[in-house]
Structure 1
């Protein structure tokens, strides 16, 4: 049978929120109940809690006892991003996506053609997540029929937990990564441009430490494991609370083997 004649593989990319089963939307729950096999990236780290959270969500949603099979797919190593310049980082991500695509295609090809494949994405698939790009690449190799379901993002959950509106009246919200924060902040300041509230994701080194000298009065609202039982929140003047946040983040990572956090600056 040629590729053109193959049955399209149904794939659901489902945003499952920041960690709480209560973040799941009705649309997401309905999509999960259609899934036969959930593919998860096995990063080889201590991520038992993340797997347990996914399985808890599946058990809650699939109350009739028909649970999708969960298949862990070894995740290709990406290497030390912090040591790469912007060009090297972008190439490393492209190579990583290509290797992930290869791994997922091999698994999907072994499944029955009518099996519905699910990817459960933390937060929302539209924000700093590679799943949609990888699924697009899978679609270049196999006929696919893709559904994407949005989820509650970590920064939405963070704002709710801190009980704040992310932006001041009529002002913007700027979403960026720790890798780009300081560069973008200083460029905007030099150009006289107001970024508004800055939401910072994927910041394993808390780059905001580099802004303490120039902007000590910024307000930081930080959260780790937002929506999960082990959630930690801190807020205050950047210069006053950053040392505590840095120490706490290191402690949490040592304790759990992983940490997911997000913060805002305003």
Structure 2
């Protein structure tokens, strides 16, 4: 039986790997890497750096394939079908790598940015491949430090406050308005900076880009005072590097919930 390990590698700092992740790296025969192209070559380079630093106890092989492009210009109505199509094509690539690159009895691994449980498609793709029935394998999951955890740590804040929940959502959902009943909202995958469209005067933002990397950028303050600055810094960074990954926490300032989290 082939074995696959899905290993969370943190948000960009090779030192963010857990001891469990380091141990897992050193059980792997083949690392599968989906290349996102020249613009995002930093992501591939950091994966190689992690392997060179931490996968040192045994020889391993690398197998790379081109990550299929996803149409990011579709309307809200076409979003789910577009993602389904992209995942299917991505599953095709992963299935080919597992079938052609991993022998029976060997262990392969996918290195997942952040944590595999949070806005990542790898687990769903592996289940899809198994459901097809052409390739069989067992797999396990090693958690990682997410960009959400890294964001809170870098801004020296908690995600929740006493007696209040925290909600994690996407920029696409934030475009529908600030979530009802929420005071603390983490937003990921916001390509259109939906926070700039919020008119609530009592919102505070903790924003971070390229978290855990040498290019890390952090900005915080009242949303109305720093939104334009974040937008300008984000646009400049994206133009300079060709890509950007950012996450932010929106916090409504209310006297009855402003005490630190439990």
Q: TM above 0.5, one fold?
A: yes
Paired position in structure 2 for 1:78: 70
Distance 2:6 2:87 in 1: 16
Aligned residues: 248
1:185 is displaced (CA, Å) by 1.7
1:184 is displaced (CA, Å) by 4.9
1:43 is displaced (CA, Å) by 2.2
Paired position in structure 1 for 2:167: 174
1:91 is displaced (CA, Å) by 1.1
User: Out of 117, 124, 127, which is 2:118 matched to?
Assistant: 127
Is residue 2:195 matched to residue 1:208? yes
- CA RMSD in angstroms comes to 1.5
Is residue 2:115 matched to residue 1:105? no
Distance 1:53 1:151 in 2: 15
Paired position in structure 2 for 1:217: 202
Check whether the contact 2:74–2:82 (CA below 8 A) recurs between aligned residues. Answer: no
Q: TM-score w.r.t. structure 1 length?
A: 0.89
1:114 is displaced (CA, Å) by 2.8
1:110-132 residue CA offsets vs partner (Å, 9 max, x unmatched): 12223311111111111000010
Name the SS for the 2:39 alignment partner. Answer: coil
1:204-256 residue CA offsets vs partner (Å, 9 max, x unmatched): 11111110xx2133100000011111111000010110111111111111111
CA distance 1:70–1:256, change in 2 (3 Å): farther
Distance 1:90 1:45 in 2: 27
CA distance 1:251–1:68, change in 2 (3 Å): farther
Equivalent positions of 1:133-212 (< 5 A) are: 133-140=124-131, 141=133, 142-185=135-178, 188=180, 194-211=181-198
CA distance 1:184–1:145, change in 2 (3 Å): farther
1:96 is displaced (CA, Å) by 1.1
Name the SS for the 1:137 alignment partner. Answer: helix
1:67 is displaced (CA, Å) by 4.9
Q: TM-score w.r.t. structure 2 length?
A: 0.90
